[in-house]
Amino acid sequence: MVSAEEIKKLREETGAGVMDAKKALEEVDGDFDKAVKIIKEKGLAKAEKRSEREAKAGLIKSYVHNDRVGTILKLNCETDFVAKSDPFLDLAHELTLQIVSMNPESVEELLEQDYVKDTSQKVKDLVTEAIRKTGENIVVDTFYRLEL
């Protein structure tokens, strides 16, 4: 039997719903790490399905570092509601930091880069996680980087 505390912990870690967290924990007999893996795999499958949906809303995010290098990012999602949400805003901020730090030449290169704050992750993993959290398709449309 899975405790409410274990379900709560898994939900906090993954952002999964109550029933998804409970099912994942029951499926692996309470093994927390395996449950996290199951939730993330299900999230990837859902993210792939969402990638076909049109992303017309979003925001323009800028970041300037030490008045010497900066970037402007166009990040799209499906609704204005998600465009104002913390997971989406956090993703936009992290992407601008990544662009300034790693100087990718294209959106494709950006998404395939190791994440500067955690090299065990790719940047595309951050986008997938935000898709899972928001329930909407998120697309890195374009960016510009300037340096003195």
Give per-residue pLDDT as tens, 68-112: 999 999 999 999 999 999 999 999 999 999 999 999 999 999 999
Co-location of 123 and 98 in the same domain = yes
- Give me the number of domains the chain comprises: 2
Domain harbouring 112, CATH code? 3.30.479.20
Co-location of 44 and 96 in the same domain = no
Co-location of 96 and 141 in the same domain = yes
Select from 96, 97, 123 the least CA-distant residue to 112: 123
CA–CA separation, 47 and 83 (whole Å):
17
> What does the pLDDT read at residue 49?
60
Least confident among 19-33, 109-123, 134-148: 19-33
